[in-house]
Structure 1
């Protein structure tokens, strides 16, 4: 709606300029004697352009919006035929009264064409004017429809993203609380420390996650804090290596929590309670690309284990499609020996 209001003055200016040219042409080509303007002759010459103006705006403001846009094409055609006949006959009557017919040209004495030729000429010109009016009105309606469609699509996308964020927050909190619950049973001190770390993370989840994009530096700090929280419950047979090549003051915009589900997945499926395990996390920013590569030992859950429902990765895929369509690559694979799982997500930041 705001765009339509802003474009209204330009539309009016275009109409004024266009009709100014139409009514200015007779003035330019009119014969003058001693630089004296014959206004009576000019007014006679502008009757035809004035008839075009009437036909144009009767269609523009009445016939097209009330009949053609209301799906009444038959009435639209009939009313235009009546209008054409009335205007065409009116022009002929006026020309006979104000411009008496001349049977011969003064130069070569050849007779002028019959009056019906001029009538047909005027009718064809009026039909062209009606077509021009319809084309302009239809193009304007198409722009309005396209703007409305884009607004609806934007609203739908924003609503879907909000729904995804609302689903992701409880999912993230549930996984973290499960980790703290596991700590309580064997190390209450670490559990208390984990609760403190969780409070820091929740500030980011509750406030920053409500925005569509956050600075990459802030998101990197959140990821680092999350990894430290996960370390608390790990045993000595688990190796966690992190390499975060992100400047703390990086202002690159990134969707919040877009990488955290990948890291959660590594801690879920990359750690075995009995076998040596490892997790390697690399997060970097180079020129116009952000890379998150995670490699972990592969210990898939059995079918009876419901601790990981996979909702996190599904949400990541949906958010990527909504926020970074055509601007990301996400490769997931298991090594040939079946011992490592590799997830590599590359994003091209969007200009906000």
Structure 2
């Protein structure tokens, strides 16, 4: 509906520009004669080249509506040039036959006939041909610019559709991946602590509500996203042993209306719990979120305990999904630095999204 309204407005503006432009062209002889201190009648208008703007009009719109769309745009360039040459020659010859007819039908006044001898007619003939060539060029330029605009609009629409399709596909991949890891955690918990398992199911139900409803939107309020992250961290904390320290600091207003892509941070936190915990060695995870007027910042530091090759607990698609979603949702508006420290003991992930 909006596209139709925009198209209608564009055509109305285009028609107004054409009307005003041709109005100026046809009024030009009157304006010039008046400024020179002469008066001009319709008979004088015919004598002084009033037919010439009509030829420009014919050449312009024959190209605009017929030759350019049906020949030039379809790659029939040779035919386009040949037909334009014939059009210009026939129109120029027709103009001079018309002027001969007008001279006989409406002879000039005596004082006009006493004027000095005019230049040879072939000079005016060449002048008219050159003017018509310029008219063809103008018509072609306007048509091409309009077509380029349409092509660019179509390209942007196709790019937008492709981006939305990719984002939807990534979200559809994220949900099973996220839920699979969470269910595995609860399954492991049931074996030795049913109370904690029940608490984990309650936390999971809150997360599911966020995943099933909010994840289908392109953006959600940052305050609401932080609630889901708190639930997720509590869910992951339940299964941790005493040798793991988890520190969280969320400096975001609970009622923050800043819009953020849903679940964009979950994979980063999940990666910290996956690679930052050792069953035998002391481990830590530090998670900090902050918000300012210009940016949303996510900082995650964790002890680095990489899984061995035999561990198939994850497919490694989480961080790759984060990168793809950032490129599609925040192109040129984010900075993500992540990697292992030089001493190979800490993994750092700092994501800054410009809002």
Q: Into which bin does the TM-score normalised by the smaller protein fall? A: over 0.9
- Using a 3 Å threshold, how does the CA distance of structure 1 residues 31 and 292 change in structure 2: closer, same or farther? closer
2-side partners of 1:12 and 1:31: how far apart?
A: 28
1:212·1:256 contact (CA, 8 Å) conserved in 2? yes
Distance 1:68 1:224 in 2: 62
Report what 1:27 is aligned to: 30
2:242 corresponds in structure 1 to: 236
Aligned CA RMSD, in angstroms, stands at 2.0
Following TM superposition, by how much is the alpha carbon of 1:334 offset from its aligned partner in structure 2, in angstroms? Answer: 1.9
Structure 2 vs 1, CA of residues 85 and 38 (structure 1 numbering), >3 Å: closer, same or farther? same
| SS in structure 2 at match of 1:99 | helix
CA-CA distance at 1:308 after TM superposition:
2.1
State the SS of the aligned residue for 2:128. helix
Contact in 2 for aligned 1:261/1:313 (Cα 8 Å): yes
1:170 has 2:170 as partner: no
- 1:337 counterpart (323, 328, 343): 343
Q: Pick from 83, 92, 105: which aligns with 2:96?
A: 92
Aligned to 1:50: 54
Go from structure 1 to structure 2 and tell me whether the alpha carbon gap of 1:89 and 1:280 turns closer, same or farther (over 3 Å shift): same
Kept after mapping to 2: 8 A contact 1:30/1:42: no
State how far apart, in whole Å, the 2-side matches of 1:117 and 1:37 are.
Answer: 24
CA contact (8 A) 2:46 2:102 kept: no
Aligned 8 A contact 2:33 2:39 in 1: no
Query: After superposition, what is the alpha-carbon deviation per residue over 1:256-313, rounded to whole angstroms, capped at 9, x for unaligned?
Result: 1111101001111111111111111001112211111111111110000010221110
Match of 2:323 among 313, 317, 322: 317
Aligned pair partner of 2:251 in 235, 245, 249: 245
Q: Where do 5+ consecutive residues of structure 1 fail to align?
A: none
Distance 2:46 2:217 in 1: 64
TM-superposed deviation, 1:140:
0.5
Paired position in structure 1 for 2:66? 62
The CA distance in 1 between the partners of 2:196 and 2:207, in whole Å, is 16
2:104 is equivalent to residue 83 of structure 1: no
Which runs of 5 or more structure 2 residues have no equivalent in the other structure? none
Name the counterpart of 1:326. Answer: 332
CA distance in 1, matches of 2:280, 2:61: 83
Q: Which residue number corresponds to residue 15 of structure 1?
A: 18
Residue in 2 aligned with 1:204?
210
Runs of 4+ aligned structure 1 residues displaced above 4 Å come to: 34-37, 104-107
1:95-140 Cα distance to aligned partner (Å, 9 max, x none): 22323699x9846x4x422111111111111111111111101110
Which of 120, 124, 142 is matched with 1:118 structurally?
A: 124
In 1, the alpha carbon distance for the partners of 2:150 and 2:197 equals 58
Residue 130 (structure 1) aligned to one of 136, 142, 152: 136
Shift of 1:36: 7.1
- Work out the CA distance in 2 between the residues paired with 1:125 and 1:92: 14
* Alpha-carbon distance in 2 for matches of 1:303, 1:81: 74
Secondary structure of the equivalent of 2:349? strand
Residues 221-248 of structure 1, C-alpha deviation per residue, up to 9 Å, x if partnerless?
A: 1101110111111111111110000001
Question: What is the aligned partner in structure 1 of residue 270 from structure 2?
Answer: 264
Alignment of 1:159 onto 2:151: no
- TM score, norm. by length of structure 2: 0.93
Q: CA deviation at 1:341?
A: 1.1
What is the aligned residue count?
Answer: 345
Alpha-carbon distance in 2 for matches of 1:317, 1:342? 15
Distance 1:255 1:8 in 2: 37
SS in 1 for 2:256: coil
Aligned 8 A contact 1:105 1:112 in 2 = no
Identify the residue that residue 39 of structure 1 maps to in structure 2: 42
Q: What is the SS of the residue equivalent to 2:245? A: strand
Rounded Cα–Cα distance in structure 2 between residues aligned with 1:29 and 1:292: 69
